[in-house]
Amino acid sequence: MEKEQFVSNIKNVAKRIDALRSNLSTEEATKTSLIMPFFQALGYDVFNPLEFVPEYTADMGIKKGERVDYAIVIDNELQILIEAKAINEPLTKHDSQLFRYFGTTDAKFSILTNGEEYKFFTDLDKPNKMDATPFLTVSLSKLRDTQINELYKFSKDVFNVEKITSTASELKYVNQVKDYISHEQIKPSTEFTKLIMGEVYEGRKTENAIEDFKPIISKAITQFITDKVNDKLSSALNTPVSIKDSSSNDESEHDSSSKSSASDAKVETTPEEIEAYAIVKIILKDKIDPERITYRDNLSYFNVLLDNSIRKWILRVYFTNTHNFIELNDENNSKLDFVTPTDLIKYSDSIIEVVKSKI
């Protein structure tokens, strides 16, 4: 399966979550509506019991007949165990159950899921013993491009135990550090506060001083992240930009009809549109010369172009009263919703693929 097709498949499964959530009251409904389509998107034949095995028997010592919801067999070897729960069930309390199953089989990976969240485990800490902490956790309702790349490694056509395992350790600790920083940003712990104070604070670290310093740390981390984002935005915008209205000679028939009054009305470019343009330049900065990325503003949408040509438009940005979305210049003219311009980062792979097709 080509990666582009895989990305499309996974995103289609993700869209089902909000549409079906209210109707999924049982584990079986979640399996049928979300979990099986997810693994089908990974390229597995979910209706072939030799490949996607339902109710896989995982006997545990004297306790016989224990069953795992699904097992994936690749080239006649058991590779992945899957424990499924209903979409409204939190996953934390079920880890120990999957832990027991893992130790009785030759599977290298195990997945705990409720159809929306997927936790991936292996045996990094001790061979043949499932780690207590997943090396990858993915929420389909908040899917990021970096997570899509990791999910792709589990697709049937490219599945390779050694390649996944070689990056699993780093991935595990990177995610743990990110979670730690995220938690400390919102609610700094006493230990973390003392650590920072030891580097910057000259007074006594009394209990009151520590409590007073916690919001300072939270504010400092937030400002640091904001400054980094702003630096990237400024860098992305620091290239020549050609702006033309929709009456340009190379405007397409579609644009001419939809923007027939552009020459008679004033087009106002908003800060949100400029931010969206900057985000696209950041996404493409390592793929193409930034000077080739320009924009043109129209009355109803904002165009991001390649080589200043409307015939080579990359995407169109729409800000409406009901929702915001982009339209990609791909085969399907895919429409992808977003809340703020920075959300476009999660569509990086799709945007890059559009540009590759135009180069």
Task: Give the β-pairing of 136-139 and 67-74.
Answer: unpaired
Q: Are 344 and 279 in contact (CB under 8 A)?
A: yes
The tokens for 260 are: 């027939």
DSSP 265-304: S-----HHHHHHHHHHHHHHTTTS-GGGEEEEE-SS-EEE
Q: Does 150 lie in the same domain as 226?
A: no
Residues 214, 254 share a domain? no
Query: What is the β-pairing status of strands 136-139 and 109-113?
Result: unpaired
Does 249 lie in the same domain as 214? no
Looking at the fold, whether 104 and 168 belong to one and the same domain comes out as yes
- Walk along the chain (359 residues) and give the pLDDT tens digit of each residue: 788 889 889 989 998 998 898 899 899 999 999 999 999 999 999 999 999 999 988 665 545 667 889 999 999 999 999 999 999 888 876 566 678 788 788 899 999 999 999 999 999 988 888 998 899 999 998 888 788 889 999 999 999 999 999 889 888 888 889 889 988 988 999 999 999 999 999 899 999 999 999 999 998 988 888 777 767 666 666 544 444 443 344 444 444 434 434 444 567 888 889 989 999 999 998 888 888 999 999 888 999 999 989 899 999 999 987 889 999 999 889 999 998 888 899 899 999 999 998 88
Query: Looking at residue 258, what is its pLDDT?
Result: 41
What residues make up the domain containing 197?
Answer: 187-236
Please provide the distance, in angstroms rounded to a whole number, between the alpha carbons at the two ends of the chain.
23
- Judge if 165 and 202 occupy the same domain: no
Which pLDDT does position 286 carry in this prediction? 83
**139 shares its domain with 224:** no
Same domain flag for 58 and 141: yes
Measured on CA atoms in the order 277, 283, 285, 288, is the torsion positive or negative? negative
CA distance 85 to 74: 24
Q: Which residues are paired to 297 by β-bridges?
A: 302
- In this predicted structure, what is the pLDDT of residue 355? 93
223/244 same-domain check: no
**How many structural domains are present in the chain?**
3
Q: Examine the domain organization and report whether 136 and 24 are in the same domain.
A: yes
CATH code for position 153: 3.90.1570
Shared domain check, 118 and 95: yes
pLDDT of 78 reads 93
pTM of the model: 0.62
Q: Are residues 218 and 283 in the same domain?
A: no
pLDDT at 73: 95
115 and 140 housed in the same domain: yes
